[in-house]
Structure 1
Amino acid sequence: MTGRLDIPAARRRYVTACTLFWLPLGLTVAPLILLLTERGMTMAAIAGFFAAHSLVAAALELPTGGLSDVLGRRAVLAAAGLLNLAALTLLGLGSAPWLLGLGMVLMGAGRALSSGPAEAWYVDTLQAHSGPDAELRTGLARGSSATSAALAAGTLLGGTLPWLLGAGPDLGARLGGATSGLVLPLSVPLLLGAAVEIAFVLYILAALPEPSRPAATLREVLRGIPVTVVDGLRLGGRDAMVRRIFLSAGAAGSALAALELFTPGRAAALTGASDSGAVLFAALACAGFVCSGVGSHLAPAAARLAGSGERAVMASLGASAVGLLLLGVTALSTGVGSMVLAATGYGLVYLGIGAAGPSENDILHRRVSSAGRATALSVQSLALQLAGALTGLAIGVLGPGPLPWLVGGAALLAGALLWARRGVPEPSTSTCPN
């Protein structure tokens, strides 16, 4: 039973689950595109793989959130780990386009399954121990910090391992004839990530107990998912505070789309070559994850200083908007002062988004019941992904320059201004409709 876990133990297990899940994905940040290129894939094919990943993740986001609420957190998290294990193995060893595409599709499905269950488990556990008014923000902040730290460490390790393994392209030939042509130095971070996924699945099954649920047939599970999904969507329509949270997630998605699309090209232009630009981008991505983790760690203090979680969200998103505006005004300059301002802006974006997240989710969990908690988190994630995809399509035609950064900054500023209005009282989850 979840009630047998005390709060420190639940917090440690939640943080460990976050770390083990996101470390393998961090290991793919630096080498994945280069590995696909080494396998002979064109940029058009690689773009298609990533589009398939995003579309699958978006399409499954709400149904898998409902599955977690109906079937249980632990089972869905374990399934996410198994899907990522298969995906990383296929991407690390596969060479045929259909195998690589299947790997990206499975990774998208794993991403959708993982969206919400761990956090929902943690909140369920705390509220079972301390009631609906349990203090959530500290644990949510630590989980978010652990996620950022795992991504940062994975990015550094994934970018460094292939270089440490030497210049020879075929590591498999050095390991033995059976693996010749299969294992490249760039494959190693992904295969290491697959090994970590095994540890993740075993940890989830052993360390995340939850209350026993009534036995349900497959038909009952499938019947319960649409009802839960519809309730999650209706929640945003009838609750103004939850609607702000979903819209703020969309604003963050727009900002992150601008960063992900235009930072690599800006780094390459700064260094004068694509390979050195890739190294700089890996370092920037790691720094961004670190800033996000620091922001998440500071979220409880920010809420205390601001006087409420709502004011903390407004200030945090406002700081992120300033960061993107700094990136916009320095887009056409390569001077040292402009580079310093751009780096400061880049850090501010991640720092502010990281600081806003725990306070947003603390508010969200107090307005939804356990029966719809993972679904609400999935709606939030879906808002971020869809807004990011739409913004990416819109600013992708603009080309380099200040305008894409300013569009992302304007979206974040609009998200911050949503919180300028006085909010309604935060009800206990026990009084919320399911």
Structure 2
Amino acid sequence: MNATGARRRYMFLHGLRWLPTGLIIPILVLLPLDRGLTLAQVGAAGVAQGLIVLMLELPTGGLADAIGRRPVLLAAGVVNLASFGLLAVAGSLPLFAAVFALQGIYRALDSGPLDAWYVDAALAADPEADIESGLSRGGAVAGVAIAGGALASGGLVALDPLPGVNPLAVPVLAGLAVQVVALVAVAALLTEVRPARGARALAASVREVPGTIRAAFGLLRRSRILTALVAVELFWGFGMITFETLLPVRLTEVVDDADTAAALLGPAGSAAWLASAAGAALVPLASRRIGAPWTGATLRVLQGATVVGMALLAGPAGVLAAYLLCYVVHGAANPVHMGLLHRQVDGPYRTTVLSLNSMMAQPAGALGLLVLTALADATSVSTAMLVGAGVLAAAAPLYLVARRPAPPRPAAREKDAVGLST
């Protein structure tokens, strides 16, 4: 297998990985509501996913390094099959909590091994392989797969092709079928040659996890810029609940019918992911003009404003227009944030800090899910969205910390200890 073959397999497997996610995004909140749960109960059940990802993200990365990427991805696929199967029949709070818990295990297992396999396979075939281009194309494929899945989900709900099956459950069954195909594809296409490493290597990897976590937090203590950037993820994770979880409920309020809302969210979700890609493509223009810190701060305020629009605009057209603008900003904000983060870390500490940055969104998202859904039940969905919008915008000043370099420090000792470029 040459580098081009590795890239093609990676893109194909990446698309299959994200297609089931696109299929269930429009109905993941509406289905439990339709089966009798309150919005606060959906939020409480969803907390399990964020907490489990938080606990397992670093250990599962070590597991993939110890025993191989292929077995970990196969295990992830089996767990995802179980979560889809349970989602198709769940009708109570404990069962939906189990669905979200399984999704948390799946996401932790699935986070990273496919990208790592592609990089290893491409560089083994050609040390000069353009892996950045392959990873970028994988991101584009993921966006298209999610968009296509969301569009198909809305069509399936609208067509209601299975008599006797709740229309909101049909995309779940479609996602289950795609996951079976994805599992077979991973088994057939993801080949790796690894030295025999047994229980001893696995145990050693597990023992290293506490030290890795301590090192990551040590980096935060030594860099105020890095601390500020990672703190942005806390606000971002909390505020994303507004457009990932509450938007379907808000749209249901506007159109006064869950099935109609789900049918609208299919094409809207598809357009949102395409809008996200457009935002990512356009943001370098703003960064070059006003600088990355000011761009990041501006985008945080703009995203808060789009959420205010979703909360207050009347009619489905207004709500969905604000939703699409929100995703334009969302797609633009991520590369700005990651670019600033990369500039603060050197060498072997890069992966640890990026993992920590990703992990910060999990407890924040879990807290946002719990707080904002409970607030929506107690007051209104619009009120909860306005609170989330304020939290998103409140992160803006944290980007401005990166405008100035950190004060001078004992360079040799500090840089040798933590690998920071600040």
With the shorter chain as reference, the TM-score category is 0.7 to 0.9
- Preserved CA contact (<8 Å) 1:258 1:408: no
2:390 to 394, 400, 407: 407
| 1:45-102 alpha-carbon deviations (Å, 9 max, x no partner) | 5444323333323332332233334443333222211110111122224557655543
Percentage identity across paired residues of the two chains: 31
- Aligned CA RMSD, in angstroms, stands at 4.1
Instruction: Tell me, yes or no, if structure 1 residue 268 matches structure 2 residue 252.
Output: yes
3-state SS of paired residue (1:350): helix
Equivalent residue number for residue 186 of structure 2:
204
TM-score, structure 1 as length reference: 0.74
Equivalent residue number for residue 224 of structure 1:
208
Equivalent residue number for residue 20 of structure 1:
16
C-alpha displacement of 1:279: 3.7
- Are the structure 2 counterparts of residues 136 and 27 from structure 1 closer, same or farther at C-alpha, using a change threshold of 3 Å? same
C-alpha displacement of 1:124: 4.8
Equivalent residue number for residue 175 of structure 2:
193
C-alpha displacement of 1:153: 1.6
- Are the structure 2 counterparts of residues 126 and 228 from structure 1 closer, same or farther at C-alpha, using a change threshold of 3 Å? farther
How far apart, in 2, do the equivalents of 1:207 and 1:124 lie? 15
One-letter code of the match for 2:8?
Answer: R
Instruction: Tell me, yes or no, if structure 1 residue 290 matches structure 2 residue 285.
Output: no
* Structure 1 spans left out of the alignment, 5+ residues: 172-183, 425-430
Equivalent residue number for residue 318 of structure 1:
298
Equivalent residue number for residue 114 of structure 1:
110
How far apart, in 1, do the equivalents of 2:112 and 2:102 lie? 18
Equivalent residue number for residue 384 of structure 1:
361
* Structure 2 spans left out of the alignment, 5+ residues: 408-416
3-state SS of paired residue (1:212): coil
- Are the structure 2 counterparts of residues 388 and 210 from structure 1 closer, same or farther at C-alpha, using a change threshold of 3 Å? same
How far apart, in 2, do the equivalents of 1:119 and 1:314 lie? 31
Instruction: Tell me, yes or no, if structure 1 residue 258 matches structure 2 residue 242.
Output: yes
- Are the structure 2 counterparts of residues 332 and 199 from structure 1 closer, same or farther at C-alpha, using a change threshold of 3 Å? closer
Aligned length: 402
- Are the structure 2 counterparts of residues 409 and 139 from structure 1 closer, same or farther at C-alpha, using a change threshold of 3 Å? same
2:49 to 50, 53, 56: 53
- Preserved CA contact (<8 Å) 2:29 2:245: no
| 1:102-150 alpha-carbon deviations (Å, 9 max, x no partner) | 333212210122223333444555666557xx86654444333322222
One-letter code of the match for 2:304?
Answer: L
Equivalent residue number for residue 328 of structure 1:
308
Equivalent residue number for residue 104 of structure 1:
100
How far apart, in 2, do the equivalents of 1:65 and 1:394 lie? 30
- Preserved CA contact (<8 Å) 1:294 1:354: yes
3-state SS of paired residue (2:302): helix
- Are the structure 2 counterparts of residues 346 and 408 from structure 1 closer, same or farther at C-alpha, using a change threshold of 3 Å? farther
TM-score, structure 2 as length reference: 0.76
- Are the structure 2 counterparts of residues 79 and 361 from structure 1 closer, same or farther at C-alpha, using a change threshold of 3 Å? farther
One-letter code of the match for 2:260?
Answer: S
One-letter code of the match for 2:295?
Answer: A
3-state SS of paired residue (1:61): helix
